[in-house]
Amino acid sequence: MKNKYIVIIALLFLFVACKKEENRFATLEKANWVLQEWENKTPDGDFSEKWRRQNDSTFYAESFFIAKQDTLFAETIQLIQRDTSLVLIITVPNQNEEKPVTFKLTSLTDKEFVFENPTHDFPKKIRYTLVNQDSLYAEISGDGKKQGYPFKKK
């Protein structure tokens, strides 16, 4: 009889532990719609972001602006879940002494995430919005300036 209770308690503990692990990265999973290859073709050049899952807690992207086969801009982006919140970490070669800049989550819905860093020069705010299954709108802003980037799924 005593062994029966021990087995039941052990199974209950295992069930609760597995259930908790399932939801551990639920905040990050709300943003999984970004995991695509996105592009914005303009007369000035092509802007692209390629997002992929790096591991359970991190999405990773490479972003490029290419004009006439020259890369004019490049950056790497990490979207990381820390505890129950998210951070967006951006690294741009030849800027900020090659140091990453961290933006903290200020808003998250099923179709949008917003990150802010009020101490950064520009941008101070980064917003990604899923317009529909094939379209994404990225916007950077701060100090009265705003730039928007409409993307299509590649």
The string of pLDDT tens digits covering residues 60-70 is: 999 999 999 99
Q: What pLDDT does residue 23 have?
A: 73
Q: How far is CA 74 from the centre of its chain?
A: 16
For residue 30, how many other CB atoms are within 10 A of its CB? 16
Q: CATH for 25-153?
A: 2.40.128.20
- For every residue of 48-99, which 3-state class applies, written as one string? EEEEEEEECCEEEEEEEEEECCEEEEEEEEEEEEECCEEEEEEECCCCHHHC
Q: How far is CA 119 from the centre of its chain?
A: 20
Segment 7-26 mean pLDDT:
60
**Neighbour-count burial for 31-53, b at 16+ CB within 10 Å, e otherwise:** bebbebebebeeeebebbbbbee
Residue 78 has pLDDT above 90, yes or no: yes
Residue 19 has pLDDT above 60, yes or no: no
Confidence of residue 98 (pLDDT cuts 50, 70, 90): confident
Q: What pLDDT does residue 85 have?
A: 93
Entry field: residues in the chain: 154
pTM of the model: 0.84
Structural Rg of the chain based on CA atoms: 20
Residue 5 has pLDDT above 80, yes or no: no
Residue 9 has pLDDT above 90, yes or no: no
